[in-house]
Amino acid sequence: MNSKALVLFSGGQDSATCLAWALERYAHVETIAFNYGQRHAVELQCRLEMMAQLRSGFPAWAERLGPDHLLDLSVLGQISDTALTQDQAITMQANGLPNTFVPGRNLLFFNFAAAVAYRRGLQVLVGGMCETDYSGYPDCRDNTLKALQVALSLGLDSPMVIETPLMWVDKAGTWALAQSLGGWPLMDLIIEHTHTCYLGDRSTRHAWGYGCGQCPACDLRRTGFETFTGQAPQP
């Protein structure tokens, strides 16, 4: 509880749940996000609204929620040619990964986050990476992040812990975790203010939130929500 954490908060469902998890667990929590020319840049607007709503709706968490950091990583758009940063259809590549994969994206994110954390005196980095029902991105793997934790701690000559509370949790479990942390008030905020859709579509509001309803990210979010609400009592 005395540790201070930096949450990689993109404005999506997973990282919003991680933010709530960190606010419940650490004495001081700061947030960081990266602008890299993502097609779903709308999530960067969602995250500001989500933080404002957390501050007004959860006073105990508001006391612990510190500054937000937004870093410009537009260089990532220059070195990747993927369906996340370019206007092209989401398909499977020959290597078995969807073409939404930005090579090494999370490695870069954690390096920059660690530099900010070091400067700010924060000892824990929290990310929403998950191996359970993820798209196969190798930089989301538990072993990748454990290796990175060692490299960062050595390279900074200061212990830097990487926490990934969703690593072994599926999408239904992520909804259940949010419900256990903040009840339906937090669920409502996540449904209304977080963004998951790869295409940045917020024109249609579904029971599980906004999105095109078709892309892999929407599909995971919807399926997880339907599984969770099939098990949990409604408000």
In the complex, the residues that contact Zn ion under the rule CB under 5 A are 197, 199, 211-212, 215, 218
What is the largest distance, in Å, between two alpha-carbon atoms of the chain? 49
In the complex with Zn ion, the residue whose CB is nearer, 4 or 221, is: 221
Q: Shortest Cβ distance from residue 69 to Zn ion (Å)?
A: 27
In the complex with Zn ion, the residue whose CB is nearer, 26 or 210, is: 210
Q: Shortest Cβ distance from residue 96 to Zn ion (Å)?
A: 21
Let me know: does 155 contact 148? Beta carbons within 8 Å: no
**Residue indicated by tokens 């996540």:** 190
Q: Among all residues, whose Cβ is closest to Zn ion?
A: 197
Q: Shortest Cβ distance from residue 155 to Zn ion (Å)?
A: 37
Q: Shortest Cβ distance from residue 82 to Zn ion (Å)?
A: 16
In the complex with Zn ion, the residue whose CB is nearer, 209 or 211, is: 211
Q: Shortest Cβ distance from residue 151 to Zn ion (Å)?
A: 34
Let me know: does 167 contact 131? Beta carbons within 8 Å: yes
